[in-house]
Structure 1
Amino acid sequence: MTDVAIDRADAPHVRVVRVGQTAEERFTEFARASSADLYRFAYLLCGDAHRAHDLVQLALERTFRAWSRVGDGEPFAYARRVVATARIDTWRRTRREVSVEHETLAGLERRSTTDPPGVEDRDRIVRALLALPVKQRRVVLLRYVLDRSEAETAAELGIAVGTVKSTGSRALARLRTLVTPENGTERQR
């Protein structure tokens, strides 16, 4: 059993430190606890399950290499930033727009009659998110999926708070138009 110590060095925040746990053990614990959230973020950012898995693996690998610097701070924020930056690098190398492969959308269209309630809504929202420009999608993901404040979102994206507000507003307006009955994508109630 690992001893637990309370570190008050960075008061007013209290941090639990496991005494006797190696850096590798702390990283392994972090990876297990955060992989699902990183995958969700990566998938919503890129829209492809395989690319999302690759981005998560890259983020975990880079986070592990930087663990001595980030392990005692905010490793999830660091890993999430790696995912976002790696995806941006991919966009720059290929092209500016994310193209959603026909097979991906076709897979979203095929639903089982035994799907739980809400699957159709989730799929419609994912398709709408994938239709947003990259900058708008990143703001929506950080603000509304990961529940970050405007200031945190601005800091992470390296933009002004006002830009976060205006980009978020445009993104939400675009999402509303993508899921309205006029576009034929909203389910009849």
Structure 2
Amino acid sequence: MPESTDDLFCDFVRTRSAALLRTGFLLTGDRHLAEDLVQDALARTHRGRRRLTDPGHFEAYTRTAMYHLHVSRWRRRRIVESMPGEMADVAAPGSDHAHRTDLKLALHEVLARLTRRQRAVLVLRFFEDRSEAEAAELLNCSVGTIKSQTSKALARVRHLAPDLLSAVTEEG
């Protein structure tokens, strides 16, 4: 007996929530905002679940909703983001795990200091491995905007953390 759309949607939420939260965190730079973003996107997907003919479309629909919600939030009145200060270095030197953790923390800190648009563009282009055209379509802007925002974001990353890009490249 084939599963109902509701059962397929529940399975999707159960299996893909962690990946969606990671993307949401990279977009927002905040765990709580990421949870809100994913929850809102899943609510939209749930409302449209009957129109989605293939359960595989749930993920694409949800991710697109996340990007659109994120864009609409940055277009609203700006909320001032504040950095709570420098992160304490508690990792043991020389440890591979410690190095990877330091790298992740540095990356998250730098992403948090970018504008929402720059962060969204970098997440789409490099984390989601989207083309410029795909990113432009998802963010409802031109390819030129994607190119300029990518350039500005990478320049800002180079300025804020000059060694970060080379360290990320070395890590693969």
- Provide the TM-score with structure 2 as the length reference: 0.79
Q: 1:49 Cα shift?
A: 1.0
Match of 1:123 among 95, 105, 108: 105
Asked if residue 155 in structure 1 is aligned to residue 155 in structure 2, the reply is no
Match of 1:40 in 2: 22
* C-alpha distance 113-125 of structure 1, shift in aligned 2 (>3 A): closer
Residue type matched to 1:120 in 2?
A: D
Match of 1:78 among 53, 61, 72: 61
- Runs ≥4 residues deviating over 4 A: none
* C-alpha distance 164-112 of structure 1, shift in aligned 2 (>3 A): same
Residue type matched to 1:83 in 2?
A: M
Match of 1:141 in 2: 123
Give runs of aligned pairs for residues 1-80 of structure 1, distance below 5 A: 20-70=2-52, 72=54, 74-80=57-63
Match of 1:4 in 2: none
Residue type matched to 2:63 in 1?
A: R
**Identity among equivalent pairs (%):** 38
Q: 1:39 Cα shift?
A: 0.6
Q: Deviations over 1:21-75 (max 9, x none)?
A: 1101111122123211211111111111112112212211221111112352632
Give runs of aligned pairs for residues 159-170 of structure 1, distance below 5 A: 159-170=141-152
* C-alpha distance 153-92 of structure 1, shift in aligned 2 (>3 A): closer
Match of 1:87 in 2: 70
Question: Greater share of helix residues, 1 or 2?
Answer: 2
Distance in 2, matches of 1:76 and 1:154, equals: 19
Mapped contact 2:64–2:138 kept (Cα < 8 A): yes
* C-alpha distance 173-37 of structure 1, shift in aligned 2 (>3 A): same
Residue type matched to 1:87 in 2?
A: H
Higher relative contact order (CA 8 A, sep 6+): 2
Residue type matched to 2:70 in 1?
A: R
Match of 1:112 in 2: 90
Which of structures 1 and 2 has the bigger CA Rg?
A: 1
Q: How many residues align?
A: 159
Q: 1:154 Cα shift?
A: 1.2
SS at match of 2:130: coil
CA RMSD of aligned residues (A): 2.4
Question: Greater share of strand residues, 1 or 2?
Answer: 1
* C-alpha distance 94-39 of structure 1, shift in aligned 2 (>3 A): same
- Provide the TM-score with structure 1 as the length reference: 0.73
Q: Deviations over 1:109-134 (max 9, x none)?
A: 13433663311111111111111122
